[in-house]
Amino acid sequence: MDSLDEQQDGFGNQPEFTVSELSFALKRTVEDAFGHVRVRGELGRVSRPGSGHIYLDLKDDKAVINGIIWKGVAQRLKIQPEQGLEVIVTGKLTTYPGQSKYQITIESLEPAGVGALMALLEERRKKFEAEGVFDQARKKAIPYLPSVIGVVTSPTGAVIRDILHRISDRFPLHVLVWPVRVQGETSADEVARGIAGFNALEPDGDMPRPDLIIVARGGGSLEDLWGFNEEAVVRAAAASDIPLISAVGHETDWTLLDYVADERAPTPTAAAERAVPVRAELLALVDDLTVRKTRGLWRVLEECKQALRGSSRGLPKPADLLALARQRFDGASSLLPRALMAGTQSFATRLTRITSRLTPRPLEAGIRFNQERVGALSARANRSMGMFLEKTRSKFLAEAKLLNSLSYHEVLRRGFALVRGDDGTMVRSVEAAGAQQVIEIEFHDGRLTTEINKLAVHKPKSTKKTPRKTAADDQGKLF
C-alpha cells in the first residue's frame, strides 16, 4: 500500500498539458528533429482540390506518409505527380494537430530515375492506344503545298529560326508563329492552347487559318520533353482538324505527341522540308513536263500523219471512182433525144384522142341557156334589192320617231313657249328681254311677234327660311 501511494504521489507531481499544448509541442519537436528530409517512395492517392494545392500519399511496401504540395510549389513542378509514379521528394516533416497526423510538406519532386518516367510513359501510351487515339485510320494527309503554315514553338529559340530559314529557302510562304514555353510546368497547357487556337481561326477571317501545323522543339532529356507527353497535348492534337507534324527533340527522342500526330519529323528542320516542296525543283519539273508534253504531242501528230498516208495508199483514185458514173452519164445522154421525141409523140396522140371526144354545142341552145341564166340572176337581184330597201326604210322610220320625240315641238305642245329676240337669238331671262325692242314668241301651233313697251319684273318669292337668332348671336364680338 505504501508503494502504491508513493507511485500516485509521483504521477501527481508531473505537469498537466492541454490537448493543444501537447499537439503543438509535438509539432515543434518533429520539425526541429527533421528540418529537411529527402524521401523516396511510390505515389498513392493524388488529390487536386479547387484551391490548387496537391494532397498525396507517399508509400512503400510497409508504410504510408501523407504529403502536401502548396499551390505555388505545384505550379513550378516539371513533372506533375500521378498515382503509381516512383518519386524522390524533398521537404519538411511536420504534424497536423487538427487530426493528430504527421505529414511532409513537399518543396520539390522528381522522378526516381529515368525508369520511373519510362514506366509512366508506357502506361500512358497503352491507355491512349486502347482508346484508339493512335490509330492510322484517323490520321490526315499532309497537304502538298499549303498556303499558310502555323508553328507552335518558342519564339526565341533556334528552332523557329531553322524552320523559317528552311521554308524560305525551299518555298517562301506565309508562316504564323504561336509562341509557347516548350519546357516547364506550363508548357503542356500552352502547347495545347496553341493547337486549339489555330483550329479556332476562321478560314475567311482577318487572321488566315493555317493549312498545316508544326509543333516543334529542340532536343533534351526525358524530363525536358515531358510536357509533350502530357494528356492535354495529346488530346489537343487528336482533336485538331488541321493536319499536324510533330518535330520534338532529335531523331532518337520519342514523345506521345509523335504517336498522335499525322506525321512525325525527326527534327524541326526535317518538318519544314516535309511541309513544303522545293520551288526550284517544282519549276524544273514543270518545265520538264512541258517539254515532254510537247514532244509527245508532236510524236502523236507524226504517227497520225504516217497512218493517214498509209490509209490513203489503199484508197482508189478519184478518176477511177468517177469512171463508172461518167460512162453511165454518157449512155443516158445518148438516149435523151430519142426519149424526148417519143414523149412528145405520146402526148400528141393523147391530145388527138381527147379532142375527138368533144362535141360543139349549137348556137341557139347556147343563147337560150344564157338567157335563162341571166333571168335567174335578175330575179335574185330584185329580191335582194327589195329586202335591202325594206330594211333601210324600217331603220329610217325608227330614227325619225326618235328624232321627233327629242324635238322641242313636243315641249311646246305641253304649254311652253319659245321666245326669240329681233336678231333671232333665244331670250332666256327678263333682263335679256329688256334689251330687245321686238320679240317673237313661238307656240306649238304658230308664232306671235310683239313690241315691248314697258318691262315689269316679277320675281318669285323665296322659299328659304330665315335662320332664327340665338342668344349667342346677340352677344357682341371681341374683334
> β-pairing, 148-153 with 212-217?
parallel
Q: What is the pTM of this model?
A: 0.47
- For the chain, give percent helix, strand, coil, nearest 5: 50, 20, 35
DSSP run (H or E) holding 61: none
Cell of 348: 400528141
The DSSP output letter for 467 is P
How far apart are alpha carbons 163 and 146 in whole angstroms? 15
Q: Please give the biggest Cα pair distance in the chain.
A: 201
The yes or no reply on domain 134-277 and CATH 3.30.300.170 is no
119's CB contacts (< 8 A; 6+ apart) are 84, 85, 86
Q: Which of 268, 271, 246, 279 is nearest to 168 (CA)?
A: 279
CA distances from 105 to 32, 110, 442 (A): 14, 15, 143
How far apart are alpha carbons 57 and 267 in whole angstroms? 39
- pLDDT tens for 78-112 read 777 878 778 888 888 888 877 778 888 888 887 77
Domain range 16-112, CATH class: mainly beta
Calculated CA dihedral for residues 131, 136, 142, 148, nearest 10 degrees? 0
* Tens digit of pLDDT at every position of the chain (479 positions): 454 455 445 555 677 778 787 777 877 877 777 778 888 888 888 888 888 889 998 888 888 888 888 888 887 777 778 787 788 888 888 888 777 788 888 888 877 766 667 777 788 888 888 888 889 889 999 998 899 999 999 998 889 999 999 999 899 899 999 999 888 778 889 999 999 999 999 888 888 999 999 999 988 777 778 888 888 899 999 999 999 999 998 877 788 898 999 999 999 999 999 999 888 888 888 999 999 999 999 999 999 998 888 887 777 777 777 777 878 888 888 888 888 888 888 888 888 888 777 665 566 666 777 788 888 888 888 888 888 888 888 888 888 888 777 777 777 777 788 788 877 788 778 777 777 778 888 787 888 887 777 655 555 555 555 555 554 454 444 43
